[in-house]
Amino acid sequence: MTRTSLMLAAALFILPAAAPAQAVRSLGDAAPQDYRPAPVRTVGWAGGSLALALPVGEFSNYVKVGGGANGFVAWRLSADGAASIRVDGTFLIYGSETRRVPLAPSGPLALVNVDVTTSNMIVSMGIGPQLTATHGAIRPYVNGEVGFSYFGTSSSVRGTHNVEPFANSTNFDDFTFALRGGGGLWILLSSRRTPISLDLSAHYIRNGLVSYLREGSITFDLTGAPVYHPIESETNLWLVQAGVSVGIQPRRR
């Protein structure tokens, strides 16, 4: 048998034995890349915060400060999350007073005292675009929104030992178109499957001219009937907020 024949015979014997080993090595090399779970991407953010309302301009002549809470949801418009559409909802109390009065002006019910609490509130909602930095542990953002603000004054009645009121009514309210704009910082606290960030922000809300009540705007005549003294003024304010934002995960299929 010639040397060439021997080499061919050896090749025919070695190649079939080497092929499975080579295939195993190839699969092993590819496995970490081909079978590694894809990273989960958030489709948006949601969050809540405590809010401090600081009236400005004409509004500050009648109301000094308010407080409440804000919640938002922002859905991505771009793949990297730089652009999103955001919806905000804010609830604020800017004045409250409680009076103890008889349940009825005369008769047996006049012996029963109840607490009447009158609260002045603002409910605002808005929707608009948000631009957010996409890299780093501290991500600034800016946003602008259009929406509305509802100014209302309501009274509720509860007994001395009651937690929930057993009667309430709206005394006075007004509704206005509103613009909101501002920005803040998302400071990353956790970057695991669900990212969590500290959310610090400030927004200016332009409410324009509104009729509203404040503490002391309701008096009573000699018969005990309420008399309302509404104020009409600009009601613009700054909203300073501190809270958290959480990434929204895509729905599993």
Among 96-110, 171-185, 237-251, which stretch is predicted with the lowest mean pLDDT?
96-110
At 26, the pLDDT band (50, 70, 90 cuts) reads very low
Q: Which CATH number is 42-94+123-148+175-248 given? A: 2.40.160.20
Query: Contact, 148 vs 175, CB < 8 A?
Result: yes
Percent of the chain with pLDDT over 90: 54
Q: What is the pLDDT of residues 71-81, one digit of tens each?
A: 999 999 988 88
pLDDT beyond 60 at 27? no
SS3 104: coil
What pLDDT does 33 receive? 43
Percent of the chain with pLDDT over 70: 75
Across the chain, mean pLDDT equals 82
Q: What is the pLDDT of residues 140-179, one digit of tens each?
A: 999 999 999 999 999 888 776 666 766 778 889 999 999 9
What pLDDT does 11 receive? 41
What pLDDT does 156 receive? 82
Phi and psi for 222 in degrees, rounded to 5? -65, -25
What pLDDT does 104 receive? 61
Question: Can you read off the two tokens belonging to residue 62?
Answer: 């009648």
